[in-house]
Structure 1
Amino acid sequence: MSEPSGPAVIVDPYSSGALFASALAERGIDVVAVLSAERPPEAYASSYQPRDYRDPIVYRGDLSEVVDRLRALDPRCVLAGCESGVELAERLAPLVTPARANVAGLADARRDKWAMASAVAAAGIPTIPQICTDDVDEVRAWLVDTGLVGADLVVKPPKSASTDGVVKVAGGVGWADVFTANLGRVNQFGEVDDRLLVQQYVTGTEYVIDTFSQDGVHALVDVCRYQKVDNGPYMAVYDTMRWLPETDPEIPGLLDYARRVLDAVGVRYGAAHVEIMLTESGPLLIELGARPHGGGQPRFNRIATGDSQIDRTVRSLVGEPVSETYRLARHQTCVFHIAPASGTVHGVSALDKVRDLPSHHFSVQNLTEGGPVQATRNLVDSLEFGFAILSHPDAEQVAADYQVIRGLERELVITSDQPAPIG
């Protein structure tokens, strides 16, 4: 059977998935967009570039219709551009491009975090203690059985992303109220959270392992270390993401764990984004995304390493060798802006100085003088506020410029939108 010569199919080409179109066009490969809904989720809307796609195919509930249209194109691959496209891409690929598809029977484990954790645990790989249910009494019994009564907990949806809906419950105090309040919530993808995960809160250092897989061989693209902080009641707010040199001593153990996880959930082809907490007792999976690292990370990864998940995908599709590892060329950190409170913001011109920093490579700030700002609760809020990419041959310069950015943020004045009390 000859190699397919048609287009690459990207399901929901949003976020980093929007980068596929130009990269593939440079190598003479057309791109067909499949949209999982008429409109992108609000969190991804600004990244969608409809001019890059001649005739997007919109999935309206009839999978066979989409399959028939795609088969007629003889596509090279069907890939998810971002998290909202994973579920549909995983259903389409085995039917349309079986030679470049993941294990069909494990599709749920590449999207639903409970199915993911269950598959990983079934493979004998350590996981975070957790339960997924819509029954508060079932959680209560589980806490007793596992000895987690009074422990720090995390309540989160099994199918959202970007820390959307993730709540830390210190000492487990009020967990049932949090569970009840969030059950039935509509998440950022417009899906109803009809079940919730309750997990033991684990501590350690959080890493992301970005990979590209071909025929079940998982090659390393980059490793980044997250620093997260609590912002008032909101847990795990992104502070920084730092690219690590390939010589970092933690990488071999993290990569071995990530590869076992990828095998356990049936990843065979394409980009994956594996988030891992390195605890005192070893690595534990936070979650996995069967798609490229989001937020436009691949374009910044090119600056840090000269390569990216997007580029490796393209090379594989044109039959070129794909690298097995990477080399860090520049010290690089993404600094996420953090708003400590919601209200009206003043003094935003202070952030103009970010662009004058010696290590400044790229930055965006979306605040307007006298406009609204939302207290940073999750990654979506961080990206709506803005971020800066600091990149420099000298690691100390990057560290110093990070401190300057946090100082500039403290010059912002946020006034409450609440009316003053009378009398």
Structure 2
Amino acid sequence: MKEMTGLVNTKNKNKLPGDGVVGKTCNNVCNNKTFIYTRKSALTLLKTAGILLLVLVLLAAFTACVSRSNQEVGDTGTGTGTESSSGTGRETGGDQGDVQGAGSKDAGEFPLTVTDANGVEVKIEKKPQKIVSLTLSTDEMLLSLVDKGRIAAVSYLSVDPGQSNVAEEVKDLQKTGLEVESLIAMQPDLIIVADWSDQNAIKQLRDAKITVYALKTPSSINQVKDAVMTVAQLVGEKGKGQEIIQWMDGKLKAVEEKVKTLEDNQKLRVLSYNNFFCTHGIGTTFDDITKHAGVINLAAEQGMVMWQEISKEKIVELNPDAIFLPAWSYEGFDAEEFAGSLKNDKSLAGINAIKNNRVFCLPEAHLGTTSQNIVLGVEDMARAVYPGLFE
């Protein structure tokens, strides 16, 4: 994958996998797994005598100099100045919380004082060398940001090729969950958890003097970029974070250059549908993916928010041009069987998606991720519905 060499860690050759996976119909892919100058106000004591007026003038100048020096010190960000934790140059108050640089505005320098997604202030004393990731998305981010030797453990989900883009890369890494005793025993210098993780367990870890940062779960591609840059700051690899963003932007631009040629009446109207009989509406990563892929998400168009149950009657009414189904099979659920039952459902036989064989199961590791690999989901979707644009 030559285009990704800029993101490969030269020590362990880690990279962002997934290039070249093309969306296919459910006929044959549903089981595809896929971080003053203390200008000492260099004031020289004036040892000179003069008339009282001159002394008063000098004192006034002295006072002004001190005031100006203090203002410059405040502007360096060492005390009250804050910057975006995403490291993307946005103003304070971004999705991932606030970051205060200790000694420099360069977030790659330590110590760092950061406010996580749950509003908790976290201090990272030095560049982390023993990192634990408890979410699949941060597993994937870290493997493109740091040498594997700095990763103490990753999440259990990382080994499942049906969901993970790093299943091969993590084979030799320890796997863990939010297990307080074992995590304390590891003595990591940074644990990254999701913002929805068990707060009681997180408190126990912090009480044991373990540094824990709760990362906001992204609901859009821009928020994924923020998350990447936040993690890059936390681990002192802001430059590598920027490389990942550039790669993401390159992938998005390549797709958008192709689909921008479509007139509005040429854009396919699509729907997602899962084994819980739900569809993805406004506020989901699926909806954001559809925007970049040049299709219209019917659920969002109908004003549906987040995940909502949808009846077969409603599907018939909406008459989607394409339907996206789960590709990940697990105990108790067979994705291929689910797709087969939907395609053979007589009540749905008249909809465009069925008639035109546009029922797709795209790699869950791309379409369902909240890591940088989400852009591969955009590419998969666009390739699936507009194959002619990619010939």
When the two structures are superposed, what TM-score results if normalisation uses the length of structure 2?
Answer: 0.25
More strand by share: 1
More helix by share: 2
Larger radius of gyration: 2
Q: Greater relative contact order (Cα 8 A, min sep 6): structure 1 or 2?
A: 2
When the two structures are superposed, what TM-score results if normalisation uses the length of structure 1?
Answer: 0.24
